[in-house]
Chains A and B, each alone.
Chain A
Amino acid sequence: MATPELRTLVIEKEFSHPPEKVWRALTQGALIKEWLMDNDFQPVVGHKFSFRATPVANWSGVIDSQVLVVEPNRKLSYSWGTLGLDTAVTWTLAATATGTLLRMEQTGFGPDQDANYKGAKYGWTKFIGNMERVVSELR
């Protein structure tokens, strides 16, 4: 069997705030909770932690992570594993004339599925939907 080709999701956005400030929002637990999820993150390579949302049916609400890279104000990476998906999330910060270009790469997705399979999300869409809903209730 051929090795499945892994894919990467990339999202980039420029913020009108300096990298030092964006870095704080990415690395201070209380701030991470404000925009992402409750967590016990520490900016220490090797630190094992989890992101936690309220559990829903068939999902513990837990994302298992470990810090992989910490380069203050420049680069942060951690593993992101839940629901059988094992990926890594990497944040890259680059100073611009007016603020920070923030790039998020999530790597480790399996190969693209046949278009016929795209509609067959069933429970998964609901899990993610629930996660969204639950997290917004936390705020």
Chain B
Amino acid sequence: MPNPATDTVFKALADPTRRAIFERLTRDGRQTVHALTARSGVSQPMVSKHLSALKRARLVRHRREGRETHYSVRPEALAPLVDWMTQYGAFWRDRFARLENLLDRMD
């Protein structure tokens, strides 16, 4: 079943440079265009262009502070892509193991 929101997200992340910028924001948190440019290997206008595309896909948000614009990810935008059950399946299996360990130690 095609989902327009998912399509937009996929198109925005299809470009490797753009995806790298997005992943860096995901990994390291909020950053300025300057900081992102310093580590991206492309020019600042290119980084700004990629950030605009990510913004259109509602994958990132921005906030001006003085002369700098800070970008951060909107994690909820990725929700359509996540296979939550796989994630939580691993999470709970691990927790069951810890629970068993705790029960063995309890009176």
Contacts and interface: CB of A to CB of B under 8 A. Distances in A.
Interface of A: 7, 9, 11, 13, 15, 17, 21-22, 24-25, 31, 34-36, 57-59, 83-85, 102, 104, 106, 109-111, 113-114, 117-118, 120-128, 131-132
Contacts of B72: 58
- Residue among B13, B26, B72, B73 facing the most chain A CB atoms (10 A cut-off): B26
A111 B3 CA distance: 12
A123 B96 contact: no
B95 A113 contact: no
A106 B88 contact: yes
B94 A11 contact: no
A13 B9 CA distance: 38
Nearest to A14: B100
A122 B98 contact: no
A36 B76 CA distance: 24
Contacts of B99: 15, 22, 25, 35-36, 102
B17 to A, nearest CB: 15
A70 B101 CA distance: 24
A35 B82 contact: no
Contact of A122 (B29, B78, B106): B78
A104 B92 contact: yes
B22 A122 contact: yes
Contact of A17 (B10, B83, B91, B103): B103
A13 B100 CA distance: 10
Contacts of A132: 91, 94
B30 to A, nearest CB: 8
Given A11-B89, A57-B26, A117-B6, A22 B84 contact: no
Contact of B28 (A57, A124, A127): A57
Contacts of B19: 122
Given A31-B106, A123-B26, A9 B92 contact: yes
